[in-house]
Amino acid sequence: MNKSSILLQEWAINKIKTEYPEDVALLVAVEGASVNNDGHGEPFDYFVPATERGSELSQTFIIGGVGNDLYPRSWERTERTADLDDRATICLGKAKIVYSRSPEDVERFESIRERLFQNLADPHFVYRKALENLEVAMSLYKTMVFEEKMYNIRGLAGFIHYYLSISVACLNGTYDDNWHVAIIPTMKKWQDLPERFIELYEAILEATTAEELKEISYDMIASSRHFIAKYKPTDTESVGEVDFHDLADWYQELRTTWNRLYFYCKTGDKDAVFGDACNLQSELSIVAAEYDLGEMDLLGAYDSRNLHVLAKQAEVLEKRIIEAIESRGIQIRRYETIEEFLQANG
């Protein structure tokens, strides 16, 4: 740290000790925030309040043209950071405690930091987080498609890459640890990347038209989807927790949808077929993922000129659902007549 940073850190620590001794648990710096040796972030980045009054320490100011933000980061937010639900992971991963109220506060903080690294080492956890950030990127792309203003399109392209890079970092067991520096050197440190990931990002930097940026963003999302898919855990940790009795209930409720689909395919009502097929496809995609049933492709068989093909595919998928339920010794509640139902449920 330069002399100014040292004096600023001493000022903050003295202010805590004299005005907020029981109200501030920690003062934390995050290394690597300085640009061109401006000292930003070196004396401190944030503090952890211990009481509501402690938040009053928060303030912003400028010294020698350098902005400073002494802001509160609660224990709860620190825990969210450990669970990768707060974007500034570096604020926990590369934190440097420069003042502490007690050894217990330091121990609590280090325990939360350890949770971060345990989460990053958990293949199930990072896979889920990768999917969450992929979903954000895809949502941003939907907005981009209809955007016309160039500054908005550039910004969306940047954020699409940002959320995809979080996914990639997670699956590499780490996080984006750059501060106010270029992202390319950071990406080059990761062992595994989606195809053309850096190349596509460099293309964003060089793009001059909206069409280019939209095409690049699409390619980046497509490449990242394939990359994330290969990291899907091979064990069935989540499957062991699901109850196939629930799948039976789901099938018993949705059985009428299959009936309608078969009827409309037979009568050639492509409008009704398409509507029911879309609804059923949505349901099938959900249960396929939840119960690890493999791909459930119904709409791929839709052909308005030959609805019989869709009916046959619906039948195949229905049989797969039934087999998944009955192979686990679960009996589907079905009756041929109302009398049979009443006799069994009297």
Q: Are residues 102 and 130 in the same domain?
A: no
So what's the pLDDT on residue 217? 97
For residue range 39-98, what is the model confidence (pLDDT) as tens digits? 666 789 999 999 999 999 999 999 888 888 999 999 999 999 999 999 889 999 999 999
Put residue 37 in one of left, alpha, beta given phi > 0 → left and psi -120 to 50 → alpha.
Answer: left
Provide the CATH number for the domain around residue 48: 3.30.460.10
| pLDDT band per the 50, 70, 90 thresholds, residue 1 | confident
Rounded CA-CA distance 313/280 in Å is: 12
Rounded CA-CA distance 46/37 in Å is: 20
Domain that holds residue 253: 239-344
| pLDDT band per the 50, 70, 90 thresholds, residue 36 | low
For residue range 274-304, what is the model confidence (pLDDT) as tens digits? 999 999 999 999 999 889 899 999 999 999 9
Question: Residue 247: pLDDT above 90?
Answer: yes
Q: Which of 99, 120, 141 is the last residue of a domain?
A: 120
Identify each DSSP E strand in 31-110 by its residue range: 46-49, 59-63, 66-72, 95-100
201 belongs to a structural domain? yes
Q: Are residues 127 and 165 in the same domain?
A: yes
Q: Are residues 273 and 301 in the same domain?
A: yes
Q: How far is CA 326 from CA 3, 136, 241, 251, 344, in A?
A: 74, 37, 18, 12, 19
Residues 41/88, Cβ–Cβ less than 8 Å: no
Q: Are residues 181 and 75 in the same domain?
A: no
Which residue is it, tokens 């109850």? Answer: 243
234 belongs to a structural domain? no
Q: Which of 177, 209, 229 is the last residue of a domain?
A: 229
So what's the pLDDT on residue 212? 97
Rounded CA-CA distance 290/110 in Å is: 35
Q: Are residues 266 and 278 in the same domain?
A: yes
Question: Residue 238: pLDDT above 50?
Answer: no
Q: Are residues 190 and 276 in the same domain?
A: no
For residue range 323-332, what is the model confidence (pLDDT) as tens digits? 999 999 999 9
Q: Are residues 34 and 137 in the same domain?
A: no
C-alpha angle with apex 94: 61 to 135, nearest 5 degrees?
Answer: 95
Q: What is the percent of the chain where pLDDT is above 70?
A: 94
Q: What is the percent of the chain where pLDDT is above 90?
A: 82
For the record, the structure tokens of 181 come out as 């520096």
Helix (H) or strand (E) holding 55: none
Provide the CATH number for the domain around residue 169: 1.20.120
For residue range 196-231, what is the model confidence (pLDDT) as tens digits? 999 999 999 999 999 999 999 999 999 999 999 999
Rounded CA-CA distance 335/333 in Å is: 7
Mean pLDDT of the chain: 92
| pLDDT band per the 50, 70, 90 thresholds, residue 31 | confident
94 belongs to a structural domain? yes
54 belongs to a structural domain? yes
Q: Are residues 207 and 305 in the same domain?
A: no
Q: Are residues 68 and 85 in the same domain?
A: yes
Q: Are residues 224 and 261 in the same domain?
A: no
- Give the chain's domain count: 3
Q: Which of 195, 210, 229 is the last residue of a domain?
A: 229
So what's the pLDDT on residue 235? 67
Q: Are residues 109 and 131 in the same domain?
A: no
206 belongs to a structural domain? yes
> Closest Cα partner for 130 from 240, 237, 227, 216?
227
Q: Are residues 33 and 132 in the same domain?
A: no
For the record, the structure tokens of 210 come out as 């909206």
| pLDDT band per the 50, 70, 90 thresholds, residue 4 | confident
195 belongs to a structural domain? yes
